[in-house]
Amino acid sequence: MSFALLLDPPGAEARTFAEKDLRETEENVKKGIETLRKYIEEDKTIYFCTDDDFLMIFLRPCKFYPHSAFELMKRVADFKVKHAALLHNLMPDDEKDAFTEHKIVNIFKHRDHKNRRVMLVNCGKNWDPSKVSSDQIFRMFYLIHELAMCEPETQIFGSVVIMDFDGLSMKQITGMSPSFSMKLLSFIQDAMPLRLKEIHFVKQPFLFKMVWQMFKPFVREKLKNRMFFHGSKMSSFHTHIPASHLPKNYDGELPEIDYSSTDWYPVMMSHEEKIKGIK
């Protein structure tokens, strides 16, 4: 299976799921788009594209409540302004080296058993903070989320993140600044128009407690309920994502991961116009 951005309209299963889980009926879609577009046109402080497809990116995670979608848009706009030094006109080419020369962030070729996109973050021994800073990792996350936003079925089914801390040492811990922790949490909890359904922490050593202490006070209940800590117990991990949908790296039944961001970076480059379109 090769890497590809899945831009086709939602299939039958996704449409059924969206109607049940997201209130995505013909009536709610029509009303949601019309109302959200009106909010944007009447507001003089934010500037977003008002195409139907773009508005759906914000309506889906808000279950087609247009006011909630508009509030999300405003938070996204505020976040971009606050972190303009990192995010202004950010394009894949700006982090080419981080993507192609380092095996820190990866995307599974396959979706999980609930049709969700899966992102893997190797934040232990694979990460050398002297070569890739925490700010660069954030920029990589941001670019990936911009592409994921463009996939209708990812908008519907959501995404999962696996945080692999195998080989974590003080080198990585000192690379995770408090400002990075706050920025990442603010992004996830306030300014990310994607349905992040689960975050799995695996292979974390005792040192991980130091990392978690930086994050824990700022994690709200909703996100906390979506975080799962497994350590080396892959059987615990399998209660959330079955072995049938995990690679051998996590005691799964799929082949061991033999690809990295180097392999799918060209897909990002081929969709530069889409990224420009959602800036």
Query: Which pLDDT tens digit goes with each residue over 214-270?
Result: 788 899 999 999 999 999 999 999 999 999 999 999 999 999 999 999 999 999 999
Which pLDDT band, with edges at 50, 70 and 90, does 139 fall under? Answer: very high
When the candidates are 1.10.1660, 3.30.70, 1.10.10, 1.10.8, the CATH number that belongs to 12-83 is: 1.10.8
Give 95 or 274, the one with higher predicted confidence: 95
Is 122 strand, coil or helix?
strand
Confidence check: pLDDT of 7 > 60: yes
Strand blocks (E) in the chain: 105-107, 117-122, 159-164, 196-202, 227-231
Place of tokens 């922790």: 181
Mean pLDDT of 48-69: 97
DSSP code of residue 247:
B
Which pLDDT band, with edges at 50, 70 and 90, does 2 fall under? Answer: low
Dihedral, CA of residue 144, residue 148, residue 154 and residue 156, to nearest 10: 120
- Number of CB atoms found within 10 A of residue 163's CB: 20
Domain with CATH 3.40.525.10 in the chain: 87-277
Q: Which amino acid is at 219?
A: V
- Percent helix, strand and coil across the chain, each to the nearest 5: 55, 10, 35
Q: How far is CA 74 from CA 48, 175, 277, in A?
A: 10, 31, 18
For the chain, give the mean pLDDT.
95
Q: What is the pLDDT of residues 106-138, one digit of tens each?
A: 999 999 999 999 999 999 999 999 999 999 999
Whether domain 87-277 has CATH 3.40.525.10: yes
Domain with CATH 1.10.8 in the chain: 12-83
Confidence check: pLDDT of 40 > 80: yes
